[in-house]
Structure 1
Amino acid sequence: MIWPAAIVLILIIALIFRLGLLMYAMYTLLGVLLLSRYLTHRWAASLQATRECNRLAAEEGDEIAVIITIENTGNLPIPWVMVEDLIPREALVYLPPRLGVTGPRMKLTHLWPRSKRAIRYQLKCNRRGYYQLGPLVLETGDLFGLHRQFRVLTEPQFLLVMPEVIPLTGYAISSKRPIGEVRMTYRLYEDPTRISGVRAYQEGDSLNRIHWRATARTGVLHSKIYEPSTVAGTTILLDFHKDSHEQRHEPRRSELAITAAASIANAVTLMGQQVGMITNGRDAADRIRTEGWASDWRTRESAQVAAGVRETSDRLRPIVIGTRRGGDQLTQILEMLARLELTDGLSLTQTILETSSRMPRDATVIAILAQVTSEIAIALGMLRRRGLVVVAILNIFDITGFADAAGPLIAEGIETRQLESEESVAEICAAYWLR
């Protein structure tokens, strides 16, 4: 609005003082401004765009192909248009970045009437996560730079990169031993559809429990043995609070914790045992549902800010995936681990107090910790005194720090293991499966 006001003011002065050449120049400049504004609006309104990804679920190390197609639906040529497909800054800042970009994600081009242009680039999935691709921001304007117009096109798409799963050393798939020594406290509840063996008849056995074929074959009464309806397994308790992870060790230590949790969940599932997860982290999908995304930004800067990640979280509910068996259960846990983000919400102590009633007593609690405070040690000790088997995996790389953190846990009678590096993930639970 400054340019038109200045031109009108100069034009009035020229009329008052009868400055013909200046009046002609101002008339011409005013006409150029109006024409530029009109053409810019026409060009921006004629732009359409689509985004295509060959897939939106990937593993670490996979490459994703992205094709952006821009179309000029109008009858006028567009001399220039700046195209940028937004990706959150958090996915690009580390070395190596979470998402490696190959090809032009931002490009300056032109479009003839009724024409299309394709822009192709690739994403290398270097680290697990839940990434927002887009929206697409387009900028165009007149040749003199007097007026510019921004458009935000295409709804964002979301790429889910699953965490790395490392095969654990020292266990057999056929083994039915759970992690740790777990006493079956509810064996009275048996599943009559699953027969695990045959034993001699005991006084008081009901008729429907008698194994008639074995009785007929041996001439002696035999009874069926049923599998208990409650099975041993594991509940993974993952501390993902920001204050528990030193910034100088990030994102290495938090990603190592995710890899360990995913690997343990995979191994327990292969053993046919139940597995669940409790964490105080933040679900990226839940954050996006809560915060949403706008589609009416006026500048590229505002679009980039909106595509970023909010630093604080007011979520005061833990993430709980109930301890159950099945392949779908593992998929749910891995997808949640892929989306998990560090948060400043509930502390681990608050999470334990909130969810202790939902931890089955016949499943070992494996707590993956990056820091141990007296409150955390007391809370885990409370679980052990309630009859749960608790094992702590300390995500600490140096032996001195591990010894200092393990002390309060050992005092509570909790067995501890050190998660030193990615190489140690494969053997972190070997002792439990080998004994």
Structure 2
Amino acid sequence: MPFRDAWPFIGGLLFIVGFGAGLPLVALVGLGVMAIGLGSRWWANRLFDRVTLRRRLAERRVFRSEPVTLEVELENRKLLPLPWFEWRLALGEHVLVTGEQLAASAVPGLHYLVRRGAAGWYSLERWQFTLSCERRGYHPVGPASMRSSDLIGAWPSRTEDGEVDHLIVYPRVYRLPELGLPAERPFGDVRGGERIFEDPLRIAGLREYRPGDPLRRIDWKATARSGELRSRVYEPSATRQLYVFLNVDTLEHAWEGYISDELERLVSVAASVITWAAGARYAVGLLANGAYPDADRPIRLPPSRARDQHARLLEALAVIQPLTMGDLAGAIRRESGRLERGSTIVAVAALVPQALADALERLANEGHRVHLLATTDRAARADIPGVQAARVGGAFQAAEVLA
């Protein structure tokens, strides 16, 4: 039995001995020891009753180095005070707090924001911190824990808050001239003016099925009535589509690991192209062989001009991890049947294996405008018929070296 648990028994023993021996002082001391022990134990058991530790991020999606406010509140809504407290909030290792020296953690990838003090009865304590992060990614804010004890410190106690928020830091975005690409029409001119696409939301009529028509074009109700396959005909649309294909692989074999600088360069180039295309009013999409955190599905966001599409694309790029979900060529094969004819495809890669080169050549043969943005010399050496290749350079490379 720990010594602290023996306080009530020792006090009771002194009281009995003092009372039996006619020693009132000893009996009084025993009674006091017993009262302190029982009272402290009762206090310790109710330390965190009606005590709340709250935190709130002003923004959960930011760009690199952009400051974001974190508010932390500790509220004690009872008569019993906290003689002392210490709370710890876990932060991702790349998250910095202005003016704070963060405590080390035994958990890899984390460090702690710590505060100590005392909280009286029915009290509310507030703290405000400024966070920033230089590293793109999906950075945890939490979990949190708090320690305290009774007045004499005999029964320390601890409570955990397992909730984890995340700070999503977007990748660095460059202007196209910084990538060595022309600011106007970086992916070539379109003959005969603006390309005409079909709008799948506007059905103009029906026609006989033709070999090669995708399944989603078939009108099954009309097919059932006529007994022959019927395909929908859509009204024309002037919406231009640009689909970014991102190859997350930086080395030929997954077991070799990855090259961190090349991965960041790939993500930044993809983000820059997407930002330009969104500003040029393209319907923009993203297909990557990376995965969302804690998920086993590749990143796929079909081209869209929805109001929040740009933010969703940047968020997807922000959370890309080195772990890949198969090769990009396989993802392209699965996606090819969904592509609108005449779409502009921009593949961003540091590595172009033969399977990827074959997939891009096949898209070019199907009538798509296919471009390859190579972030390394080895990718730039890929010679793919029908695919226009460009080596990303300019101030972008200098900026990456300085970073």
Instruction: Give the TM bin, normalised by the shorter chain.
Output: 0.5 to 0.7
Unaligned runs of 5+ in 1: 194-226, 288-312, 397-401, 427-435
SS state of the match for residue 353, structure 1?
helix
2:128 is aligned, of 87, 95, 120, to 120
| Count of matched residue pairs | 335
1:249 is aligned, of 259, 275, 291, to 259
Q: Which residue of 2 aligns with 1:68?
A: 72
- Report the alpha carbon displacement of residue 111 of structure 1 after superposing the two structures with TM: 1.3
TM-score (structure 1 length as normaliser): 0.63
- Report the alpha carbon displacement of residue 32 of structure 1 after superposing the two structures with TM: 6.7
Q: Which residue of 2 aligns with 1:57?
A: 61
Q: Which residue of 2 aligns with 1:269?
A: 278
Q: Structure 2 vs 1, CA of residues 417 and 26 (structure 1 numbering), >3 Å: closer, same or farther? A: farther
Deviations 1:284-307 (A, max 9, x none): 4xx3xxxxxxxxxxxxxxxxxxxx
Q: Structure 2 vs 1, CA of residues 33 and 254 (structure 1 numbering), >3 Å: closer, same or farther? A: farther
Separation in structure 1 between the aligned mates of residue 151 and residue 97 of structure 2, nearest angstrom: 31
Contact 2:77 2:122 in 1 (8 A): yes
The 5-angstrom pairing of residues 12-51 of structure 1 reads 35-51=39-55
Q: Which residue of 1 aligns with 2:83?
A: 79
Q: Which residue of 2 aligns with 1:101?
A: 97
Q: Structure 2 vs 1, CA of residues 74 and 59 (structure 1 numbering), >3 Å: closer, same or farther? A: same
Q: Structure 2 vs 1, CA of residues 26 and 388 (structure 1 numbering), >3 Å: closer, same or farther? A: farther
- Report the alpha carbon displacement of residue 327 of structure 1 after superposing the two structures with TM: 4.8
SS state of the match for residue 174, structure 2?
coil
Deviations 1:385-411 (A, max 9, x none): 333332222233xxxxx23x444x315
TM-score (structure 2 length as normaliser): 0.68
Q: Which residue of 2 aligns with 1:360?
A: 340
Separation in structure 1 between the aligned mates of residue 34 and residue 86 of structure 2, nearest angstrom: 26
Separation in structure 2 between the aligned mates of residue 165 and residue 350 of structure 1, nearest angstrom: 28
Structure number with the bigger relative contact order (C-alpha 8 A, sep ≥ 6) is: 1
Q: Structure 2 vs 1, CA of residues 77 and 387 (structure 1 numbering), >3 Å: closer, same or farther? A: same
Q: Structure 2 vs 1, CA of residues 242 and 416 (structure 1 numbering), >3 Å: closer, same or farther? A: closer
Q: Which residue of 2 aligns with 1:131?
A: 139
Q: Which residue of 2 aligns with 1:308?
A: none
1:110 is aligned, of 105, 118, 128, to 118
The code of the aligned residue for 2:90 comes to: L
Q: Which residue of 2 aligns with 1:346?
A: 326
- Report the alpha carbon displacement of residue 272 of structure 1 after superposing the two structures with TM: 3.0
- Report the alpha carbon displacement of residue 28 of structure 1 after superposing the two structures with TM: 9.5
Separation in structure 2 between the aligned mates of residue 28 and residue 376 of structure 1, nearest angstrom: 81
The 5-angstrom pairing of residues 303-322 of structure 1 reads 315=296, 317-322=297-302
Contact 1:231 1:362 in 2 (8 A): no
Q: Which residue of 2 aligns with 1:281?
A: 290
Q: Which residue of 1 aligns with 2:109?
A: none
Residue 140 in structure 1 maps to residue 148 in structure 2:
yes
Q: Structure 2 vs 1, CA of residues 76 and 358 (structure 1 numbering), >3 Å: closer, same or farther? A: same
**Identical amino acids, percent of aligned pairs:** 24
In proportion to residue count, which structure has more helix?
1
Separation in structure 2 between the aligned mates of residue 188 and residue 124 of structure 1, nearest angstrom: 43
Separation in structure 2 between the aligned mates of residue 365 and residue 411 of structure 1, nearest angstrom: 14
Contact 2:251 2:258 in 1 (8 A): no
- Report the alpha carbon displacement of residue 79 of structure 1 after superposing the two structures with TM: 1.9
The code of the aligned residue for 2:388 comes to: E
Contact 1:166 1:425 in 2 (8 A): no
Contact 1:233 1:363 in 2 (8 A): yes
2:173 is aligned, of 159, 165, 170, to 165
Q: Structure 2 vs 1, CA of residues 117 and 339 (structure 1 numbering), >3 Å: closer, same or farther? A: same
Q: Structure 2 vs 1, CA of residues 188 and 260 (structure 1 numbering), >3 Å: closer, same or farther? A: closer
- Report the alpha carbon displacement of residue 280 of structure 1 after superposing the two structures with TM: 2.1
Contact 1:377 1:412 in 2 (8 A): no
- Report the alpha carbon displacement of residue 332 of structure 1 after superposing the two structures with TM: 2.8
Separation in structure 2 between the aligned mates of residue 319 and residue 329 of structure 1, nearest angstrom: 14
Residue 381 in structure 1 maps to residue 361 in structure 2:
yes
Q: Structure 2 vs 1, CA of residues 350 and 183 (structure 1 numbering), >3 Å: closer, same or farther? A: farther
Contact 1:43 1:74 in 2 (8 A): no
Q: Which residue of 1 aligns with 2:388?
A: 415
SS state of the match for residue 87, structure 1?
strand
Q: Which residue of 2 aligns with 1:224?
A: none
Q: Structure 2 vs 1, CA of residues 350 and 107 (structure 1 numbering), >3 Å: closer, same or farther? A: same
Separation in structure 2 between the aligned mates of residue 347 and residue 33 of structure 1, nearest angstrom: 66
SS state of the match for residue 45, structure 1?
coil
Separation in structure 1 between the aligned mates of residue 48 and residue 72 of structure 2, nearest angstrom: 17
Higher mean C-alpha displacement, 110-119 vs 376-385: 376-385
